Amino acid sequence: MAIYHLSVKSISRSAGRSVVAAAAYRAGQELTDERQGLTHDYTRKQGVEDAFIVAPDGADWAQDRNALWNAAEAAEKRKDAKTGREYELALPAELDAGVRAALARDFARELVKRYGVVADVAIHEPGREGDTRNHHAHILTTTRTAGADGLGAKTRVLDVASTASAEIEHMRGVWARQVNTALERHQVEQRVDHRSFERQGKEQEPTRHMGVSATALERQAAREIPGREPVTDLGKQNAEIRERNRVLETARKAVEKAQGLFSRLEKKARLAVGLARKIGQRMEREREAERQRKELARQAEIRREMQRQAAEEARMSAELERQKGVVCGRGRNPTLSRGRA
């Protein structure tokens, strides 16, 4: 099934980190940190499918990765300055490499459009010892806006707690919509949801974040004995959580199957009731038509009987008139009178 993941974290000097080194590692390139005088060579790093930079209009200079991130370092004076911001995205394994790269580019464009920053995108393959579906992208952005003349103002909306949470939640929603649009376009049934299990109304329990050290220990253990049980406390906890979620998911699917069966039966019952109602209505129409036919026949018979009676009365009246005429004729005949005398 398609997996949703988007996390955001800062590259900060207070943690002893260099954004130049971070960019070199993610892109699998060699970059020189001019502030520290160190060269970071990750050209032998494997698993980098693609790397590209998305910048605002006019900021063509930012296409030079070395110039971009040295400018980001040079723009900050504080010892605890945030020199970069990283968005880590899970790319759908159900889509091919070209579509995954287009998805990452589209999200980078949204970041550039919304915040005016430069986005450095690196697309990574799944690790050899890890989940083979773990296609992902690292998008490293500047913490300042960028223009034709270099870096500008800080993007404080992402630094202040009162606005940062809402902004990150907004971008999480943007990423979910982009992924679902791509899945639908390529006729993949699965969908992702950026909301927590609780907000989705699901009973699943989220796994705990492993961190770099625990992940490394688990991968080393998997290399030594493939298929072995987790060796770290976090790994064991997550395995238990996944097992509980598996049981819950199995139960949920069983309930959904039962509900689906009930729904189909209910639909069939409604169809049967509707069919019975239609048959009853048709039979009632037929009975009404039969009643009307009989009534018409009865009325026709009454009319015929009335016509017969009227004809009989007319005949009898004519006969009476005829008889009267005969009697009257006899009284006026003198020959008959003389003969009687």
Report yes or no on 178 lying in a domain. Answer: yes
Q: Does any domain span residue 86? A: yes
Which has more confidence, 242 or 145? Answer: 145
Query: Which residue(s) pair with 88 in the sheet?
Result: 7, 138
What band does 268 get if pLDDT is binned at 50, 70 and 90?
Answer: confident
| CA 138 – CA 172 distance, rounded (Å) | 15
Does residue 244 lie in a domain region? no
Whole-structure pTM over 0.85, yes or no? no
Between 136 and 236, the more confident residue is 136
Does 332 map to a domain? no
Q: Where are the alpha helices (DSSP H) in the chain?
A: 19-27, 65-74, 97-115, 161-185, 197-200, 211-224, 233-331, 334-340
Residue 341 banded pLDDT, cuts 50, 70, 90: very low
Task: Answer positive or negative: Cα dihedral of 310, 313, 318, 319.
Answer: positive
Q: Count how many domains the chain has.
A: 1
Q: What is the DSSP string of 39-91?
A: EEE-TT---EEEEEEE--TT-GGGGSHHHHHHHHHHT--STT-EEEEEEEEEP
* Token duo for residue 24: 């070199």
Containing structural domain, residue 32: 6-194
Weakest mean pLDDT among 11-25, 92-106, 244-258: 244-258
Q: Is residue 215 part of a domain?
A: no
Nearest in space to 22 (alpha carbons), one of 80, 63, 76, 82:
82
| pLDDT band at residue 68 under the 50/70/90 scheme | very high
- Residue (of 232, 206, 208) closest to 218 by Cα position: 232
Is 246 contained in some domain? Answer: no
Residue 135, domain member (yes or no): yes
- Tell me, yes or no, whether 210 lies in a domain: no
DSSP string, 155-188: -GGGTSHHHHHHHHHHHHHHHHHHHHHHHHHTT-
We report the CATH number of the domain holding residue 121 as 3.30.930.30
